[in-house]
Structure 1
Amino acid sequence: MYMIVKHTHLTIIALTFIFFIINFVLTMKGSDKVNNKLLKIGPHILYTLFIFTFIYLVAVNPLKLYPFVNGWASSKLGGFVLYVLSITFALKWAKSNLWRIVGLISAIFWFVMSARLGFADHLKVKGISEDTNAYIELGQSMLTAIC
């Protein structure tokens, strides 16, 4: 059951990213299709399912990784919150295309950081302070690779 929920969780993450990119392109074009009912409520449904699968995975995870107890899990949760805020900025709060692009870059950054952290198995078993330093180092290496 754990693996089914885990793969569902990962699929939901991919779908939220796809919805974001579609909405972003339509917003940049100024299309009326951005008001499509599926594009409006779809992401909210996916975020809700994401939260439910996240809660399940945290409750039954074999490594006992809990947010606010383990730095890895807290970083993952923080990355998700910043990802959603970046999406909201890009699609709703930004008034110019330049700021929308900044929101897009920010959302992609937090998406990649959270995904990279998800695959960093060596970070999952370290202490909180070690996780924080490793996460900062990971961020610096990602920025170096991008620039």
Structure 2
Amino acid sequence: MNYLLIKHVHVTAVTLSILLFALRSYWSVIDSDKLRNKAVRILPHIIDTILLVAGVTLAAVIGPEQPWILAKIVGLLFYIGVGTIAIKRGKTPKSRAIAAIIAIAIFAYIIGIALSHSPLSWFA
């Protein structure tokens, strides 16, 4: 198993995931019909599955008992919950926009954890 290759796949999927999330959030806020496009509905699931498989593989290689990995998982759960409000469940454009900003902040926190290997993220 090539650690650097898996890490590269993971980082690439992270980048694609957040870019697509930001675009979909924007479309959600402006009530664009582009959100109904079949590729727009399917592609995030493919990218996020690749992201998750690569992340789990990396965690297995590193050792999942690392506190920072647990912090990333908890952050991911919050990101997913808030992200669904930003794209689907928010009742108004304003609530979807606020949820999108919060989700992106959570995503930034997760990136900080990944870079610092600390649950304190950017504050370490």
Q: How does 1:33-72 map to 2 (within 5 A)?
A: 33-61=34-62, 64=63, 66=64, 69-72=65-68
- The SS at the match of 2:91 is coil
- Give the greater-gyration-radius structure (CA): 1
The runs of at least 4 consecutive aligned structure 1 residues that moved more than 2 Å come to: 135-138
Alpha-carbon deviation of 1:70? Answer: 2.6
Alpha-carbon deviation of 1:27? Answer: 1.6
Alpha-carbon deviation of 1:88? Answer: 0.7
Aligned residue for 2:29? Answer: 28
User: Where does structure 2 lack aligned partners over 5 or more consecutive residues?
Assistant: none
Alpha-carbon deviation of 1:9? Answer: 0.3
Alpha-carbon deviation of 1:43? Answer: 0.7
> Hey, what's the Cα distance between the residues in 1 that align with 2:122 and 2:26?
32
Corresponding residue pairs, total? 123
Q: How does 1:1-147 map to 2 (within 5 A)?
A: 1-61=2-62, 64=63, 66=64, 69-121=65-117, 123=118, 135=120, 138=123
User: Where does structure 1 lack aligned partners over 5 or more consecutive residues?
Assistant: 124-130, 142-147
8 Å Cα contact 2:28-2:96 kept in structure 1: no
- The SS at the match of 2:83 is helix
Larger relative contact order (Cα-Cα within 8 Å, sequence gap ≥ 6): 2
Q: Percent identity?
A: 27
TM-score, normalised to structure 2, is 0.89
